[in-house]
Structure 1
Amino acid sequence: MAEARLGHPLREVGALLDPAAVHGGRSARSHLESLAATNGLPRARIAEVLARTGLDSVAGKRVGGFSLGMRQRLAIAAALLGDPPVLLLDEPVNGLDPGGIRWMRGLLKSLAGEGRTVLVSSHLMSETALTADHLLVIGRGRLLADTSTADLLAQRADARTGADARTLLEDAYLRLTADASEYRAVHR
């Protein structure tokens, strides 16, 4: 059987899966340098992604002293390092303060505006309502919805007038996943 290989995977897909998956004794720059070296990426990209994620001033500091929000930004920098056309980001606002959350919203919209495919996994419907153009709702391994955010909100708006987009999206999500939940609350 032939095995397909990606010579430079970070040039194809950038992923944020676990911001804690960095050796705490390394500096942010050192972490990105090792990723660049193993993926055949130019060293110039390191300074670019550090600046884009706001970490350029702490690039020489050890990651072990970083807050969760700073680790999150470093994981985003790593995902962007190869300048990939596709990004997979799992809970990208986790650990960010309000300013960081606003920054992340702008970054996600900017990346999509550059023509990239940006897939975000999130349980925060309020954030999703503010950033996503298209939604895939998955429950217990099944695709439950594949629709534009606007269409899903329009369906719910008919049912609840006066509710804001965040509440409508949360309602729609709960309705879609009600039968697909792995657990159910027991009401007494």
Structure 2
Amino acid sequence: MAVQLVHRETPGQGKHRKLPPAPAAGGAIRLVSVFGTLVADNVIEIFAVSPDTTTVAFAVLLAVTLTAWFLTERTVSISTVDTGRRAAFSWLAVLFTFELGSAAGHAGDEALTPGYAGTAILVRVLIIAVRSVHHFTGSGSAIAFWVAYVVARPVGGFLGDLGGLWFGTALTSLFGLAAISSSCFT
């Protein structure tokens, strides 16, 4: 569904598709993020699969997706998504990053119990580490992007939880809905 919402035929490109303007892509990414988070949460909470096992499973699925994408297209960069096949690979990778990030967030919270402030600091340190490795080793920017994308995912969950504690779930949900809605149309 997200791919259908995001991709449209562009005049002059024939069979090739092009990413839409940022607001439309951002809206689709938000839909996929909610779906991916729900999948991970349901696997953990309803089917009682441990967060560690879920994290490994989604990491394998993401690795398989990125490997197949690279072997097929010789790239895993989102800036080169200009065909339907590349779009399918990229959306599948995005879905698995949200599932992996959510599962890893649960696993990390259970193992480390760092609290909200500790989690914010930990995620920031991990993102700085990814950036530093990329900068000092010359590792590919596409791989650095995907790693940072996964690492950053738990932040949204923790901030939502923290907001729920401070303001209640209804007000936090309304604020989140307003923020997401307004960013889709700007």
Shorter-chain TM-score range: under 0.3
Structure with more of its chain in strand, by fraction: 1
TM-score normalised by structure 1 residue count: 0.27
